[in-house]
């Protein structure tokens, strides 16, 4: 991921230095496990532990000749260790190192992402409670529907992120698996006990079965979970972009002092952060497709997945980390305009009470078809003539045969609408633990 979207802590997991450090940690753990099993002299382990090190630039220089990164790494380490290096990588294959250490990197990145999700959940909960009763027009197909509250919108997102938290926890468990089973996974020169011991030292579970590689359905689950998280953030961002439109302007991205919105138009205050998050979600989703393409490999292994994972795993974890933190910060500072929400609510001439009126008429014994016809007739006239629906209904002799003017006034009463909505909001918030 380019530096512009790369938080330092999660990016540090994916550096060449960090990768080779994990490789070295695994190789030493394997020597230690084999020493404990009686296959390596204790003094050899001591020498390896004391002397084993590497230099990234030297590894890269060696790789120019070997065309093999693991061999280049081992050659570099051996140069520092000396003759006792013969015990390093004994019985292992390259994928034992690469796959197991990739699992460590994904696990460590996943833990950072889990903490970021938990932070976003907390921000959503706080702001949902803040706007619990803030009346807002609910929209379906982009058209005024019935009243809701801005707090309910945020509560909905809060619950979605809790589901994402559960998904990510499971994905981290799924990927926290190592394999030290050698070429094609048959332990020809090792043993399941050695594998279990090495994995334990690295904080991983041993795979119950593998080929020369860990199976890529694990990686696909991890990548698609990241894609779902990114898609949720995009969903929230798209909604806030809509709400910032000039014609709506119910919420607005914070605009800092000295910030500029357009090189040409000084008046512009654009939702650039939410647009940026929308774009990054496309990258993460695209990467998840590549991860699923990696599931089907030839026989016990090929390396068509390798080049893909060198790109998509760092990029997707870093991007999602950035997205979570950026959206959390933007939500914390989001400007919300309740007065504008009320103006928009009142701009559709009471039409959003149409269902309430419809149900009142069917409650008087009318068929749904007849009641719908009466209400729709007035609703269409209300919109075309910009007359409040209540005023038209009070002049409709057919409707007045079934409901009184007092009942109509009650149906359209703002206090009545708010009262019913508050009761529903209380129930929904309580049901969701806030």
Residue 414's pLDDT band, with cuts at 50, 70 and 90, is confident
Predicted pLDDT at 261: 75
* Strand positions, DSSP E, 102-234: 135-140, 143-149, 177-178, 205-206
Residue 430's pLDDT band, with cuts at 50, 70 and 90, is very high
pLDDT at residue 254 is higher than 90: no
pLDDT digits (tens, 9 = 90+) for 140-163: 999 999 999 999 999 999 999 999
Q: Taking a C-beta distance cutoff of 8 angstroms, is the pair 48, 87 a contact?
A: yes
Predicted pLDDT at 255: 81
* For range 337-365, the mean pLDDT: 94
Predicted pLDDT at 23: 98
Helices marked H in 176-255: 192-202, 217-244
Judged on CB neighbours under 10 Å (0-12, 13-18, 19+), 138 is middle
> Which structure tokens are listed for 283?
């990258």
Which string of b and e fits 273-296 if b means at least 16 CB within 10 Å? bbebbbebbebbbebbebbbebee
Of residues 415 and 323, more confidently modeled: 323
pLDDT at residue 124 is higher than 80: yes
Angle between helices 16-36 and 192-202 (to 10 degrees): 130
* For range 37-66, the mean pLDDT: 97
Kindly report the backbone phi and psi dihedral angles of residue 139, in degrees, each rounded to the nearest multiple of 5, phi listed first: -130, 135
The Cα–Cα gap between 412 and 92 comes to 76
pLDDT at residue 257 is higher than 90: no
Beta bridge partners of 148: 136
> Which structure tokens are listed for 244?
């910032």
* For range 20-26, the mean pLDDT: 98
The Cα–Cα gap between 14 and 26 comes to 16
| Percent residues over pLDDT 90 in the chain | 93
Q: State the residue for tokens 């559709």.
A: 348
Predicted pLDDT at 415: 85
SS (H, E, C) 28-87: HHHHHHHHHCCCCCHHHHHHHHHHCCCCHHHHHHHHHHHCCHHHHHHHHHHHHHCHHHHH
Containing 335, the helix (H) or strand (E) segment is strand 335-336
Residue 249's pLDDT band, with cuts at 50, 70 and 90, is very high
Predicted pLDDT at 267: 78
Catalytic residue numbers read: 141, 262
CA-based nearest residue to 350, from 401, 302, 390: 390
The Cα–Cα gap between 201 and 206 comes to 11
CA-based nearest residue to 34, from 23, 45, 47: 45
359: left (phi over 0), alpha (psi -120 to 50) or beta: alpha
Predicted pLDDT at 360: 94
The Cα–Cα gap between 340 and 147 comes to 14
Beta bridge partners of 193: none
Cα dihedral: 196, 197, 198, 204 (round 10): 60
358-362: long-range contacts at Cβ-Cβ below 8 A with a sequence spacing of 24 or more?
360/403, 360/407, 360/411, 361/399, 361/402, 361/403
* For range 5-12, the mean pLDDT: 97
pLDDT at residue 33 is higher than 90: yes
List Cβ neighbours of 270 (8 Å cut-off, separation of 6 or more). 253, 261, 262
* For range 179-186, the mean pLDDT: 95
* For range 54-80, the mean pLDDT: 98
Mean pLDDT of the chain: 96
Q: Taking a C-beta distance cutoff of 8 angstroms, is the pair 114, 168 a contact?
A: yes
Residue 418's pLDDT band, with cuts at 50, 70 and 90, is confident
Q: What are the C-alpha distances in Å from 89 to residues 54, 71, 190, 209?
A: 15, 10, 11, 20
Residue 416's pLDDT band, with cuts at 50, 70 and 90, is confident
The Cα–Cα gap between 136 and 97 comes to 55
pLDDT digits (tens, 9 = 90+) for 260-317: 776 778 777 889 999 999 999 999 999 999 999 999 999 999 999 999 999 999 999 9
CA-based nearest residue to 153, from 235, 227, 231, 230: 235
Predicted pLDDT at 108: 98
* For range 48-60, the mean pLDDT: 98
Predicted pLDDT at 263: 72
Predicted pLDDT at 51: 98
Residue 333's pLDDT band, with cuts at 50, 70 and 90, is very high
User: What SS3 class is residue 231?
Assistant: helix
CA-based nearest residue to 350, from 387, 402, 385: 387
4: left (phi over 0), alpha (psi -120 to 50) or beta: alpha
pLDDT at residue 235 is higher than 80: yes
């Amino acid at each position: 991921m380019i530096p512009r979207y790369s938080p330092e802590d999660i990016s540090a997991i994916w550096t060449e230095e960090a990768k080779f450090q994990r490789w070295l940690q695994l190789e030493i753990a394997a020597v230690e496990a084999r020493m404990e099993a009686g296959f390596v002299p204790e003094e050899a382990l001591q020498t390896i532990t004391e002397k084993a090190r590497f230099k990234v630039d030297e590894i890269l220089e060696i790789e120019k000749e070997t065309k093999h990164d693991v061999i280049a790494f081992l050659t570099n380490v051996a140069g520092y260790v000396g003759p006792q290096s013969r015990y390093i990588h004994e019985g292992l294959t390259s994928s034992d190192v690469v796959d197991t250490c990739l699992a460590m990197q994904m696990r460590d990145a996943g833990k950072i992402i889990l903490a970021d999700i938990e932070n976003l959940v907390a921000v959503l909960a706080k702001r949902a409670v803040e706007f619990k009763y803030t009346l807002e027009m609910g929209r379906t197909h982009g058209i005024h529907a019935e009243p809701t509250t801005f707090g309910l919108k945020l509560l909905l997102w809060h619950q979605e992120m809790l589901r994402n938290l559960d998904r990510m926890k499971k994905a981290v468990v799924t990927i926290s698996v190592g394999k030290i089973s050698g070429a094609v996974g048959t332990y020809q020169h090792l043993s399941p006990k050695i594998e279990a011991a090495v994995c334990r030292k690295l904080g991983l579970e041993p795979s119950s079965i593998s080929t020369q590689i860990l199976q890529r359905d694990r990686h696909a689950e991890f990548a698609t979970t990241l894609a779902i998280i990114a898609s949720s953030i995009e969903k929230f961002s798209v909604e806030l972009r809509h709400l910032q439109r000039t014609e709506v302007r119910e919420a607005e991205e914070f605009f800092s002092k000295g910030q500029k919105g357009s090189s040409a138009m000084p008046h512009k205050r654009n939702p650039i952060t939410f647009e940026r998050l929308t774009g990054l979600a496309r990258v993460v989703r695209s990467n998840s497709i590549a991860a699923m393409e990696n599931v089907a490999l030839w026989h016990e292994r090929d390396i068509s997945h390798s080049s893909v994972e060198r790109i998509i795993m760092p990029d997707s974890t870093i991007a999602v980390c950035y997205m979570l933190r950026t959206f959390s910060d933007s939500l914390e500072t989001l400007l919300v305009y309740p007065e504008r929400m009320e103006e928009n609510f009142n701009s559709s001439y009471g039409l959003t009470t149409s269902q309430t009126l419809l149900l009142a008429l069917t409650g008087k014994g009318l068929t749904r078809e007849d009641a719908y016809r009466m209400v729709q007739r007035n609703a269409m006239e209300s919109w075309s003539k910009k007359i409040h629906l209540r005023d038209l209904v009070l002049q409709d002799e057919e409707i007045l045969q079934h409901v009184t003017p007092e009942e109509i006034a009650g149906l359209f009463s703002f206090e009545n609408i708010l009262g019913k909505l508050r009761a529903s909001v209380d129930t929904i918030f309580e049901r969701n633990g806030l």
